[in-house]
Amino acid sequence: MRAALSIREAQTRLRQGSLKARDLMEAAIVAADRHACELNVFAARADSDGLLTAADKIDRRLATGEAVGPLAGIPIAIKDVFGTKDLPTTASSKVLADHHTGVDAEAVARLRSSGALVVGKSQTHEFAFGPTTNNEYAGPSRNPWNPDHVPGGSSGGSAIALAAGMCMGATGSDTGGSIRTPSALCGVSGLKPTYGLVSRRGVLSLAWSLDHAGPMARSVDDLAFLLEAMAGFDARDSGSVDRPVQQYSALMNQPAGPLRIGVPQDYFLDLVDVEVHAAFDASLECLQSIGCKVHPVSLPSMKYALGAELAILGSEASAYHRDRLKRQAEDYSPNVRRELLAGLTILASDYLLGQRVRGLICKDFATAFQNVDVIATPTVPIVAPLIGATQVVVNGEATPALDAIWRNVFPTNLTGSPTLSLPNGFSKSGLPIGLQLIGRYFDETTLLRLGRDLQAVTEFHRQAPPMIDSA
């Protein structure tokens, strides 16, 4: 299943009868049985017999010509911050050990109503508060391209499951890059939609004004199918935006067209590993080869972005966890507890200043988008560091690993802009590199089409980790 089969291809073959939903599910189960424990992918797995029974039911419905949903039979993984009616939702934390919501998060409910089958709850950095999925409580999740390295986070389990063929789609949440970072470091595709496009009801919050929920998949075309199922207004999510859902999967049949691609002259390319930079330069040449024009853009307020993100995220996360910290402080892993307690010391004036800076950054992006259609950057300026590494060397200089990992991704959590990460090559050591494409509000279609056009002329998204390919 990992090789090249897309959701679109699976849909066609299922309806033609040349493929069975049972085949898809058996392949996902076999892959998980082989590698899930070794890579620490799942916080909980669904019952295999139950999944096969559900797949058989879909096959019978297809055989009799009964209508099925657009994702019927597609195996998906759900990040362990999304509530699920039939599996525990623990945020990979002792604090919520064996916690059951008894109800699906809205995004999960929509995926299920489209026919998708949930194979399990994927590991996350505890409470989604970290970019590595090196979880002190649940243990480290491991990059399938090299298990000594982190998969990125916090949606690390979802990215591993996709790269290893344990599912064909997955959910992620993204507060400071948590969909895009693991997508880049594990060689899969991930989309942080515009803030408010996908409901976050039933998703454990990290920082409510920064939180996004979105899809992860092997290819950009697959993302379109997942986003179409997940998106839509939810009156019970205060951040949800009431606007019609586009038929993203059908819109993917049209080319992106010649686009103006902006390359930031501020911040995003200031700290980039030489191999990552070379891959980015090659992607710009590829974009030009398919008719795009590259233009410099200025984002002068980005020099204040980190302070704004830390003030907002720290304040909101600590407020969300304040009552649990009073009752269960010792159940939090030390690194997460330390961050949450530090957040309680942030002054209201600092939080408000952070929000004011956020407005300046939004204006910079709005100005840039008057002259370009998409902004391109490396997703992560380094390849996946070793598990436990606190420092990385970038172009001969040591820098904190965590700072480097999330440097290029958190800014669009501040703006709420739709942002896509897709595979963009490999380092000499065989670790994946990602390309980040940022779009205008609610213009996911342009990002998806452009990403699809790039994947039509590259093969990075079709490559499997050696340990999986040889299994």
H/E stretch holding 158 reads helix 156-163
Please indicate whether residue 199 is annotated as part of the active site: no
In sequence order, what are the residues at sequence separation of 6 or more whose Cβ sits closer than 8 angstroms to the Cβ of residue 238? none
Please indicate whether residue 85 is annotated as part of the active site: no
- For 109-144, the DSSP string reads HHHHHTT-EEEEEEP-SGGG--SS-EETTTEE--BT
What's the rounded Cα separation, in Å, for the pair 190 and 166? 16
Number of neighbouring beta carbons within 10 Å of residue 274: 11
What's the rounded Cα separation, in Å, for the pair 84 and 143? 26
Please indicate whether residue 79 is annotated as part of the active site: yes
What's the rounded Cα separation, in Å, for the pair 343 and 311? 8
User: Considering only CA atoms, which of 162, 186, 201 is closest in space to residue 78?
Assistant: 162
Tokens in use for 240? 């949800």
Q: Of 122, 154, 189, 205, which one is the catalytic site residue?
A: 154
Q: What is the CA radius of gyration of the chain?
A: 21
**192 three-state secondary structure:** strand
Q: How far is CA 338 from CA 47, 207, 333, 334, in A?
A: 36, 16, 8, 6
Q: Report the Cα 73 to chain-centroid distance in Å.
A: 22
Tokens in use for 99? 């916690």
Determine phi and psi for 234, rounding to 5 degrees: -135, 105
Decide: 253 and 226 in contact? Cβ < 8 Å. no
Tokens in use for 54? 């559900």
Q: Report the Cα 183 to chain-centroid distance in Å.
A: 6
Name the CA dihedral angle for 458, 212, 126, 426, rounded to a multiple of 10 degrees.
Answer: 10
What's the rounded Cα separation, in Å, for the pair 454 and 69? 28
Angle at the Cα of 144 from the Cα atoms of 27 and 168, rounded to 5 degrees: 35
Enzyme catalytic residues: 79, 154, 178
